[in-house]
Structure 1
Amino acid sequence: MVEWRPWRAGIRPVPEPVATPLVWAAAFTGALLVTAALAATRALTEPPHALLALCALAALLGLCARFTAAPGTALVCWLFHNGFATAPHGELAWQPGTDAWHLTALTTATVLGTTTTHLVNAHGAYRRVTPGGDA
C-alpha cells in the first residue's frame, strides 16, 4: 500500500547534473592543464602516467555529468593523450589495439564517475523520502 505524505521543507531534490557542453569545456581545459603539468614535471614521457592522470580527470568530470557526456569527455581526454603523451608529439595517429584500449579506459573512468554519483544521489534521495530515513 502506498502512503502519500506531504513534502517537508527539509527534503532536497536530487541535484541536476552539469550541462554536457560545460562538461566538455571542462574536459578540454582540464586535459590541457593536466598535460601541461605533466610536461612541466617531465612525466609526459611515460604514456601510462598520462593515461592514469587523464582517467582520473575523466572520472572527476563524470561525477558532475550526465551519462550522455561520457563519450565526448573520453574523446577529448584521448585527443590530448594521443597528441601529446604518445610519440611523435603534436600528431594524432590511430593504433588499433592501443588507442582502442586507451579510449575504453577513459570512457570507463567517466562512466564509473557518473555511476558513482547517481548511486550516491539515489541512495540519499531514498533515505530522505522513506520513513525512518535521515530527513
Structure 2
Amino acid sequence: MIEWVNLGTGPRPVPQPAATPLVWAGAFGGALTLVALINTMVGPDRPGLALTALSLLAAALGVWARFTAAPGTAVLCWLFLNGFAIPPAGVLTWAGPRDTFWLGCLLTAALVGTAASRLAHARAAYHRLTTGTDPDDGRPC
C-alpha cells in the first residue's frame, strides 16, 4: 500500500548559502570573463567600466554567499581588475588610494549583495511563520 505524505507542511527553512570555494570559483571565472569581454569590446584602458562590472558581479555572487566569502570575492575581482583591466596587462601594481578605493568598492558590493539576500530570506521566513491560521477556528493569526 502507498501512503501519500504532504512534504510541504510546516515552515520552510531559510536556504543555506553556497559553499565559499564555489563562490570564489564563480568570482574567478566571472571576473576573468568580464575583464576579457570588456578588453575585447571596449579596450583595456577603461578601469571605471571594469570596476562597475566587477562590482555588480561581486554583488550578484554575494546573493548566494556567506559573509565570510566577501573578502575573498573582492580580492579575486580586484586581481583581475588590477592585473588585466589597466595597462600594462599582466602586471599587478599597487597605487595606494586608487587600489584601496577599488577594494573597498568590491568588498562593499559583495557585502551588500549578501546582506540583501540574508534580509530577504529572513523576511520571507518571518512572513511564512506569522501568516499561519489558528487551528481552532481557521482564522488568520
Q: Same fold (TM over 0.5)?
A: yes
| Percent of aligned pairs sharing the same letter | 51
Shift in Å at residue 44 of structure 1? 3.4
Shift in Å at residue 63 of structure 1? 0.4
Paired residues in the alignment total 127
Unaligned runs of 5+ in 2: 1-7, 134-139
The reply on whether 1:78 has 2:78 as its aligned counterpart is yes
Distance in 1 of aligned mates of 2:91 and 2:52: 20
Name the amino acid aligned to 2:112.
L
Name the amino acid aligned to 1:55.
S
Partner SS for 1:15: coil
Shift in Å at residue 13 of structure 1? 0.7
Could you report, residue by residue, the CA deviation over 1:65-97 in whole angstroms, capped at 9, with x for unpaired residues? 000000000000000000011221110011110
Query: 1:102-117 to 2 correspondence within 5 Å?
Result: 102-117=102-117
Shift in Å at residue 42 of structure 1? 2.0
Distance in 2 of aligned mates of 1:75 and 1:12: 34
Distance in 2 of aligned mates of 1:131 and 1:33: 44
Could you tell me which residue of structure 2 aligns to residue 66 of structure 1?
A: 66
Could you tell me which residue of structure 2 aligns to residue 5 of structure 1?
A: none
TM-score (norm. length: structure 1): 0.89
Distance in 1 of aligned mates of 2:36 and 2:20: 24
Could you tell me which residue of structure 2 aligns to residue 3 of structure 1?
A: none
Could you tell me which residue of structure 1 aligns to residue 44 of structure 2?
A: 44
Contact kept, 8 Å, 2:44 with 2:87, in 1: the verdict is no
Distance in 2 of aligned mates of 1:99 and 1:75: 11
Could you tell me which residue of structure 2 aligns to residue 12 of structure 1?
A: 12
Could you report, residue by residue, the CA deviation over 1:33-58 in whole angstroms, capped at 9, with x for unpaired residues? 10111112024321100000000000
Shift in Å at residue 131 of structure 1? 3.9
Distance in 1 of aligned mates of 2:15 and 2:52: 28
Could you tell me which residue of structure 2 aligns to residue 123 of structure 1?
A: 123
Contact kept, 8 Å, 2:82 with 2:92, in 1: the verdict is yes
Unaligned runs of 5+ in 1: 1-7
Partner SS for 1:89: coil
Could you report, residue by residue, the CA deviation over 1:15-35 in whole angstroms, capped at 9, with x for unpaired residues? 000000000001000001101
CA RMSD after TM alignment: 1.7
Distance in 2 of aligned mates of 1:11 and 1:44: 50
Contact kept, 8 Å, 2:70 with 2:110, in 1: the verdict is yes
